[in-house]
Amino acid sequence: MADDKSKAPMIIDADGHILEPPDLWEKYLEARYKPRAIRIKKDPEGWDYAEIDGKPATCIDKYNLPRLSSMGRFVQEMRERRKAWIAGGKRGPTPFIPVTREETYANSAGHGTMFPNQRLERMDQEGLAKSVLYPTLGLAWEGDVRKDAEITAAYCRAYNRWIGDFCRDSNRRLVPIAHVSLLDAKEAARELERAVTQDGCKGAFIASFTADRKPHGHPDHDPLFAAAQDLDVPVAVHPSIEPPDTTIHTRFEPIKGPARLWYGDMHVNQGPMMALSTMFAYGVFEKFPKLRFVVLESGAGWIGWYLDRADAIYDGTLFGGGVPLSEKPSYYFRRQCFISGDPDEKCLRHVMPYVGIDKFFWASDFPHVDHPPNYMEEVRELVQGMPDEMARGILGDNVARAYRLD
């Protein structure tokens, strides 16, 4: 029998996204909640906008709604605009390519974003064995219903039923992840168990902010972590569109104009980083030694510095005595945590051996606009020259182990 290392490596996208169909919640919500469904509607001027619980969404800009799946589109045009702008002696930001009302949420959905057969076709073209799937609208709507645990839970249940159906006939190549909310951790635990046992979900996604401002690691959230441990599935924190009064970006006067998007994307990792820190601060990994925790779409190069700093404060300052841990933070990270990096993070080949080559994934973020489209080319460059075990780990073996994928 040939050794496993003689086979081509398994390539898994650890964090891909789907675009939820406009009628998802109308179809999948329980009957009593259907009048409060998330919908895509048109305003009097003909623009698509998201309606959440009967009100226009505040966390999803109608002008950006059509561009949610525009990974790679307009990039070349933007480069040419910037080149001409600078050549013409002009200063300041290059004007953005305008959105038109003819670009709708549905007709702007790229191939592979909304239908499972199209996603599988795309994966075949890219050589992907599997794709772990996370939401798009689901990264935004929690900010609009954060005082209503009941409708929050109903929206999650509807999405989870749908994503289970979306992935069901893919021969386990499309990997569904359940959306749960920390607003009611007991309900989140119940829903995670239902989603895993009935819809085949392989893990839980939680937002990078909390609606009631309780830290992610707070003891009130223990029921979810206990359930995930018992079900043997990971909990993943993913950046989300945060309400203005909870986001970390409120310390400064808001940056005006297009530069705010660059600035916000540069610091998108701060929310998940803080969420991870609260897991140490409340001793979650000590209480739940078999819980697996994943940090997504936040870059991964910083984790080496982060663990050094966390250990130094724990072991070398008086502040460490206040943390309910019997080991250094790096011990728990190496035992229980994983992190996804972008394919263009050239520093990962240096960070991985230091932190642990079994802790890292790559992820595409397809089809979102804040990542480049040539991720498969960058993945190949990322692993070029890596030792075999290290390359196989980041390409797919690590995420398969973390999510128990076969």
Q: Where are the beta strands (DSSP E) in 83-234?
A: 130-134, 174-176, 178-179, 204-207
Which H or E element spans position 281? helix 270-281
Q: What percent of the chain has pLDDT over 70?
A: 98
Is 318 or 189 the better-scoring residue by pLDDT? 189
What is the predicted pLDDT for the residue at 4? 60
CB 238 within 8 A of CB 134: yes
What domains appear along the chain, each with residue ranges and CATH number? Answer: 10-22+111-403 (3.20.20.140)
Report the chain's terminal Cα–Cα distance, integer Å: 19
pLDDT in tens, 372-402: 889 999 999 999 999 999 999 999 999 999 9
Which H or E element spans position 3? none
- Alpha-carbon distance of 161 to 18, in angstroms, equals 14
Instruction: Tell the burial category of 376 from Cβ atoms under 10 Å away from its Cβ (0-12, 13-18, 19+).
Output: middle
Question: HSE on the CB side for 277, CA within 13 Å?
Answer: 14
- Alpha-carbon distance of 130 to 170, in angstroms, equals 10
What is the predicted pLDDT for the residue at 69? 79
- Alpha-carbon distance of 30 to 155, in angstroms, equals 9
293 phi and psi angles, rounded to 5 deg: -130, 130
- Alpha-carbon distance of 240 to 237, in angstroms, equals 9
364: left (phi over 0), alpha (psi -120 to 50) or beta: alpha
Helix (H, G, I), strand (E, B) or coil at 235: strand
Helix (H, G, I), strand (E, B) or coil at 7: coil
- Alpha-carbon distance of 332 to 325, in angstroms, equals 9
Mean per-residue pLDDT for 136-151? 95
Q: How confident is the model at residue 150 (pLDDT cuts 50, 70, 90)?
A: very high
Looking at the predicted structure, is the pLDDT value of residue 125 above 80?
yes
- Alpha-carbon distance of 209 to 339, in angstroms, equals 18
Looking at the predicted structure, is the pLDDT value of residue 1 above 50?
no
400 phi and psi angles, rounded to 5 deg: -65, -40
What is the predicted pLDDT for the residue at 61? 82
What is the predicted pLDDT for the residue at 396? 98
pLDDT in tens, 243-273: 877 777 677 777 877 788 778 888 888 999 9
What does pTM read for this prediction?
A: 0.94
Q: How confident is the model at residue 3 (pLDDT cuts 50, 70, 90)?
A: very low
Q: How confident is the model at residue 2 (pLDDT cuts 50, 70, 90)?
A: very low
Q: What angle do CA 276, 366, 195 make, to 5 degrees?
A: 60
pLDDT in tens, 179-213: 999 999 999 999 999 999 999 999 999 999 999 99
Q: Across the chain, what does the average pLDDT equal?
A: 92
Q: How confident is the model at residue 5 (pLDDT cuts 50, 70, 90)?
A: low
Helix (H, G, I), strand (E, B) or coil at 37: coil
**Any idea which of 233-247, 254-268, 285-299, 318-332 has the lowest mean pLDDT?**
254-268
Structure letter (DSSP) for residue 331: H
- Alpha-carbon distance of 64 to 74, in angstroms, equals 14
CB 10 within 8 A of CB 128: no
**Any idea which of 96-100, 137-141, 361-365 has the lowest mean pLDDT?**
96-100
What is the predicted pLDDT for the residue at 286? 97
Looking at the predicted structure, is the pLDDT value of residue 173 above 70?
yes
CB 201 within 8 A of CB 233: yes
Cα-Cα-Cα-Cα dihedral sign, residues 363, 264, 370, 138: positive
- Alpha-carbon distance of 82 to 94, in angstroms, equals 5
Q: What is the DSSP string of 35-101?
A: GG--EEEE-TTS-EEEEETTEE-SSS-TTTGGGTT-TTTTHHHHHHHHHHHHHTT--SPPPPPPP-T
Mean per-residue pLDDT for 30-59? 94
Amino acid letter, 321: G
